[in-house]
Amino acid sequence: MSSVIERFLKYIQIDTQSDETSTSVPSTSKQLDLARVLVEELQSLGLQEARCDENGYVYAVLPANTSDVVPAIGFIAHMDTSPDMSGLAVKPQLIENYPGGDIILNAEKNFILSADAFPELQQYVGKTIITTDGTTLLGADDKAGVAEIMTALEYLVQHPEVEHGKLCIGFTPDEEIGRGADHFDVKGFGADFAYTVDGGPVGELEFENFNAAKAVVQFYGRNVHPGSAKGKMINSILLAHEFLSLLPSHETPADTEGYEGFYHLHRSQGEIENTILHFILRDFKNEGLENRKNTMRNAAKMLQKKYGQDSVKIEITDQYQNMREKIEPVMQIVDIAKQAMEAVGVKPKISPIRGGTDGARLSYMGLPTPNLFTGGHNFHGRYEFIPTFSLEKGVEVILKIIEKSIMM
């Protein structure tokens, strides 16, 4: 078993799920369990300045071993896993020489990784695939990225004859809840540019992402006995349904792709007197995102006019912006990644990120940071999987980027 696979299987045993309801930094203390492991490994590899700061960010530096003037490159991945599903007691399964067809994740619970539902599986016939047992997510987002960066560093330490510039390493907490860059020390990091290793299938290379906002909409009703409720009861659950009917019905994640934006209702709770809807809004254009915000505000105003000013309250908060504007002036860093992939036999797939990464915010903080693949599929749920060769290709691409940067 290769080093990157061993590392990945080790890291996913550490539960690092973040918590969007927490106000602490990091949002969960268990993320520090992985941070401590990584600092120890970085120190054992001989990297300088290996540390975990007071906010749970891990940093380290591999000094340049060349006298040439070359840029300092950063590699960044996040340590937390999604709140969408548990990452506790992950039980990975290695499907060797995958024959095609369905993969039974858990016979007892009838969890099946269906080849019909997930046709991309057929790309990996004959390969080894790591899956879950259906009771947790796997954690390839982003422990695959962490493992690939760490393994590339190990290779460079073991092969001092390979020339490289200064390499700056960063592992962040709380990326999954949109806080991964909140306390990132860009100046202290010391890189001229960086790459997040946080993408999906092999070949993904991304330098543009959604503009993002979140919305919390609260509905207030009035409860009386249903036997005498005529003209008196206002059911906040039904208000919420009416609000949803005022949004475009086919602009949801399940109905959109490519550069199409969406409204995503991802959590709700309610009873007659109070119902809360939690949305995320996404669009690749600033104008498009503003239109979505206004659509929601106008829907709220219609209900306020109908049921009273206090019947609906809406709060919309911006989250991050499309990093394309900050990457385009330094497109050579995307070209280097593209050339590196081609050099190791990976076909680059340049596409927009239908989401966000730490790199989006870091780019606006002065550190241009496009995104590289990890090799994983179906993040955030029980059907997550990653082919082992994808992990290995991730390491190769990182090393080739480092090699090609010498020629900048």
Mean pLDDT by groups of 10 residues along the chain of 408 residues: 95 97 97 98 98 98 93 98 97 97 97 96 97 98 98 98 97 94 97 97 96 96 95 96 97 95 96 97 96 98 96 95 95 97 97 86 96 97 98 98 90
SS3 state of residue 324:
helix
Spatial contact of 73 and 401, defined as CB atoms under 8 Å apart = yes
- In sequence order, what E strands does 161-289 have? 167-172, 193-197, 204-206, 211-220, 262-270, 274-283
The closest alpha carbon to 286, from 365, 369, 210, belongs to 210
Distances (CA, A) of 219 to 9, 65, 280, 306: 45, 61, 17, 13
User: pLDDT tens, 238-267?
Assistant: 999 999 999 999 999 999 999 999 999 999
Bond into 142 cis (ω within 30): yes
Q: What does the pLDDT read at residue 67?
A: 85
Compute the distance between CA of residue 284 and CA of residue 210 in angstroms, rounded to an integer: 5
**Residue of 15, 80, 141, 174 marked active site:** 80
Catalytic residue status for 116: no
Compute the distance between CA of residue 67 and CA of residue 166 in angstroms, rounded to an integer: 11
Q: What does the pLDDT read at residue 49?
A: 96
Task: Give residue for tokens 């081609």.
Answer: 342
The closest alpha carbon to 360, from 351, 371, 349, belongs to 371
Strand partners, 59: 51, 170
Q: Domains in the chain, please, with CATH?
A: 3-209+322-405 (3.40.630.10), 219-320 (3.30.70.360)
**Residue of 133, 148, 174, 175 marked active site:** 175
Which letter, b or e, does each residue of 299-309 get, where b requires 16 or more Cβ atoms within 10 Å of its Cβ? bbeebeeebee
State if pTM tops 0.85: yes
Catalytic residue status for 273: no
